[in-house]
Amino acid sequence: MARLRIKDILKTTPTEQTIIVKGWVRTFRNNSFIALNDGSTNNNLQIVVDFNKTPEDILKRITTGAAISITGILVASLGKGQSVEVKASSIEIIGDSDAEKYPLQPKKHSLEFLREIAHLRFRTNTFGAVFRVRNTLSFAIHQFFNEKGFLNLHSPIITSSDAEGAGEMFHVTNFDISNPPKDENGQIDYKHDFFGKPANLTVSGQLEGELAALAFSDIYTFGPTFRAENSNTTRHLAEFWMIEPEMAFSDLNDNMNLAEEMLQYVINYALKTSHDDIEFLNQRLLEEEKQKPQNERSEFSLIEKLNFCLENNFERITYSQAFDILRECNYNKKKKFNYLIDKWGVDLQSEHERYLVEKHFKKPVILIDYPKEIKSFYMRQNDDGKTVAAMDILFPGIGEIVGGSQREERLEKLETRMDELGIPKDELYWYLDTRRFGSCPHAGFGLGFERLVLFVTGMTNIRDVIPFPRTPKNCEF
């Protein structure tokens, strides 16, 4: 007989059939009732043990965390909260767990503690729910783009370019870093390095994505990216995953339409497919909110927040319109913002973005036409000479979730902007070639996957939505 998953067993009508189920012991009560979980759902399956017919040495080894195999009869349950249970006919201990040393005791643990034992936190209800939702969202992303006819491109993880121009990169080398070879000027001689030139971990797959879009029309990347940014915040990681579509023959409006459609598609898919896990996380968040002072509580429950993004068309406004709204609002005039809005051209902070979404428009917002000085070199310059055809999508509780733009397809404009910012054109000759040979209007955006998972699960720290977070001074597991 094949092992059945607990998620499927709990949906089964009991007909006294014999089944095999395997999993990990959550609790063992009164030497009679095992709460068994195999990770397919947060719901446990109750196993009824015949105390008198089970060897004592087996009973002693049924401890929290132990892996066991049960063969038994699936019957209707008389207990509350479950429709079926299994009467065990045989119990096999697959892997013992020392109950005294097992870190996950049957009690509430803090998220901070669980981060320290990230190798075991998958076994908790909270992280079981989070990572099943993460899996659902990942599948939904691929399904959405597949249905739209996009080609999935695997962009390089090791690259010699800095797509963002920020310089916050992890360097890749096979040199002995304590004694690298030097040239006649005493500088590190990268000609002797593995790639024959400086290389780093990618900060974005966008530039390579543009190359593919100008051949396949519609592509997307979904892979790991890296930022050597010394930020110890609840919103930053050194290693994270990015979804980056690029579309040829498309403008900023096409870009906004695709991003809005994609976000609503994946959120709707998660609500339908991972309903039980999202409902659990919703209840968890409601309990957490009760511990906060009234003025610090969220206006939305998790499910209300997700439906908020499904039930409203996204408001589309320019940066200049947003600037005027923020400058004139009472929050700014009464100095309730940590960063006051006083001069056109400032980069908006999360508090400003959330104000626009939660207080002013009461719907998701897409901001467009940002000042060119605060945006990247590759964004298409608008005719006013001051702004670029950029867009950011703002969500409740989190602020920016998507950033993108129409790309600058005009070679002269692109080269001029690169010169202004000191970006060497010779190193990006391959990128400029796409503007020399069959250039066309094209656009794309980036979605930080962990930001999306953070939003859909209602977690408050980005380190809790990626299996093994990489942050400054932290590279465990």
Which pLDDT tens digit goes with each residue over 363-413? 999 999 999 999 999 999 999 999 999 999 999 988 999 999 999 999 999
pLDDT tens digits along 428-458: 999 999 999 999 999 999 999 999 999 999 9
Q: Which of 399, 313, 390 is nearest to 356 (CA)?
A: 399
How far apart are the C-alpha atoms of 134 and 28, rounded to whole Å? 30
Same domain, 85 and 151: no
Three-state SS for 187?
Answer: coil
Same domain, 283 and 389: yes
Query: pLDDT-derived band of residue 64, with 50, 70 and 90 as boundaries?
Result: very high
Residue type at position 453: V
The answer to whether the beta carbons of residues 258 and 246 sit under 8 Å apart is: no
Tell me the CA distances in angstroms from 2 to 142, 193, 306, one per residue in order.
30, 52, 38
Tell me the CA distances in angstroms from 453 to 78, 235, 278, 307, one per residue in order.
38, 12, 11, 15
Q: Does the pLDDT at position 30 exceed 70?
A: yes
Query: pLDDT-derived band of residue 167, with 50, 70 and 90 as boundaries?
Result: low
Question: For residue 12, what are the domain limits?
Answer: 6-104
DSSP of 361-421 = ISS-EEEEEEEGGGS-TTBPBPTTSSEEEEEEEEETTTEEEEEEEEE---HHHHHHHHHHH
Confidence (pLDDT) at 387: 98
How far apart are the C-alpha atoms of 125 and 358, rounded to whole Å? 30
Q: Of 70, 104, 138, which residue sits at a domain end?
A: 104
Q: Does the pLDDT at position 66 exceed 90?
A: yes
Tell me the CA distances in angstroms from 415 to 248, 316, 379, one per residue in order.
20, 30, 12
Q: Please compute, for residue 237, the number of CA atoms within 13 A of its CA located in the half-sphere on the CB side.
A: 23
Same domain, 16 and 147: no
Convert 57-81 to b/e letters by CB count within 10 Å (16 or more is b).
eeeebbbbbbebebbbbbeebeeee
pLDDT tens digits along 229-250: 888 888 889 999 999 999 999 9
Same domain, 136 and 250: yes
**Percent above pLDDT 90 for the chain:** 89
How far apart are the C-alpha atoms of 257 and 314, rounded to whole Å? 10
Q: Does the pLDDT at position 162 exceed 80?
A: no
Same domain, 348 and 227: yes
Q: What CATH code is carried by the domain that includes residue 383?
A: 3.30.930.10
Tally helices (H) and strands (E) across the chain: 14, 16
Q: Cα torsion for 405, 304, 265, 223, to the nearest 10°? A: 60
Same domain, 97 and 226: no
Residue 175 lies in a domain: no
Same domain, 79 and 215: no
Q: What CATH code is carried by the domain that includes residue 78?
A: 2.40.50.140
Q: Does the pLDDT at position 163 exceed 80?
A: no
pLDDT tens digits along 99-125: 999 999 888 899 999 999 999 999 999
Residue 111 lies in a domain: no
Residue 194 lies in a domain: no
The dihedral built from the CA positions of residue 22, 24, 28 and 31, taken in this order, carries a sign that is positive
How far apart are the C-alpha atoms of 220 and 224, rounded to whole Å? 13
pLDDT tens digits along 258-309: 999 999 999 999 999 999 999 999 999 999 888 888 877 888 899 999 999 9
Spatial CB neighbours of 235, under 8 Å, sequence gap ≥ 6: 350, 451, 462
Confidence (pLDDT) at 321: 98
Confidence (pLDDT) at 106: 83
The total of structural domains in the chain comes to 2
Output phi, psi for 86, to 5 deg. Answer: -120, 125
422 dihedral zone (left: phi>0; alpha: psi -120 to 50; beta) = left
**Percent above pLDDT 70 for the chain:** 99
158-159, strands of its sheet edge to edge: 158-159, 199-201, 171-172
Q: Please compute, for residue 368, the number of CA atoms within 13 A of its CA located in the half-sphere on the CB side.
A: 19
Q: Which of 35, 41, 247 is nearest to 125 (CA)?
A: 41
Residue 373 lies in a domain: yes
Residue 110 lies in a domain: no
What integer best gives the mean pLDDT of the chain?
95
Residue type at position 203: V
Query: pLDDT-derived band of residue 165, with 50, 70 and 90 as boundaries?
Result: low
Same domain, 38 and 156: no
How far apart are the C-alpha atoms of 40 and 5, rounded to whole Å? 7
Same domain, 53 and 140: no
pLDDT tens digits along 314-368: 999 999 999 999 999 999 999 999 999 999 999 999 999 999 999 999 999 999 9
Same domain, 208 and 263: yes
Residue 445 lies in a domain: yes
For residue 458, the 8-state DSSP code is T
Confidence (pLDDT) at 452: 98
pTM of the model: 0.95
Residue 303 lies in a domain: yes
Q: Does the pLDDT at position 164 exceed 70?
A: no
Residue 473 lies in a domain: no
Tell me the CA distances in angstroms from 20 to 2, 34, 90, 95, one per residue in order.
7, 15, 10, 17
Same domain, 139 and 22: no
Same domain, 62 and 137: no
